[in-house]
């Protein structure tokens, strides 16, 4: 491995360990207030954003630990070493699907690396059931990070930065 490659890898690892949160899917990032569910759009669970997915795959948005997978498989909570607690909630009212169309690829307690696949879901199953696919990405303990919250909206690919908190 060249010295240049080691240097680039070190910078990328440091970046992934910061307050950056990377896109957990390909799609369009929207402001929190545009999510079609008041619990999310009014910030009741914390600061964050929505994503309108273009593909039914979810990836870890940072290095961390899987803290929770809902019994209905539509949501995963992660925590990184900086203490950021992040909820990835796929779809609006998809709890009513009782897990149909959702497949977690990790288990509670697993350590994950940024960009690692953590869930798949069926966009068509969600839409056929009459639900929106908008995915809420919420920092559930955002009150612990009051200094800065930056959101990058628009089309993003997985592992592109979408939020920065400090």
Q: Just list the catalytic residues.
A: 89
Burial track 47-64 (b if 16+ CB lie within 10 A, e otherwise) = bbbbbbbeebbbbbbbbb
- Which residue is associated with the tokens 């069926």? 122
**Sequence-distant (≥ 6) Cβ neighbours of residue 130 within 8 angstroms:** none
CA quadruple 16, 88, 152, 83: dihedral, nearest 10: -40
Going by C-alpha positions, the residue among 138, 160, 77, 151 that lies closest to residue 112 is 77
3 state DSSP class of 104: strand
């Amino acid at each position: 491995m060249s010295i240049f490659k080691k240097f680039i890898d070190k910078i990328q690892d440091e970046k992934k360990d910061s307050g950056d949160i990377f896109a957990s899917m390909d799609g369009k990032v929207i402001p929190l207030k545009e999510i079609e569910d008041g619990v999310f759009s009014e910030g009741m669970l914390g600061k964050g954003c929505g994503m309108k997915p273009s593909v039914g795959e979810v990836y870890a948005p940072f290095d961390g630990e899987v803290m929770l997978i809902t019994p209905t498989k539509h949501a995963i909570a992660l925590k990184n070493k900086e203490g950021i607690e992040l909820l990835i909630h796929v779809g609006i009212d998809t709890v009513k699907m009782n897990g149909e169309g959702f497949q977690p690829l990790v288990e509670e307690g697993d350590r994950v690396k940024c960009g690692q696949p953590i869930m798949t879901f069926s966009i068509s199953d969600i839409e056929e059931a009459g639900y929106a696919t908008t995915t809420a990405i919420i920092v559930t303990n955002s009150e612990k990070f009051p200094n800065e919250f930056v959101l990058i909206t628009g089309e993003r690919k997985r592992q592109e930065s979408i939020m920065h908190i400090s």
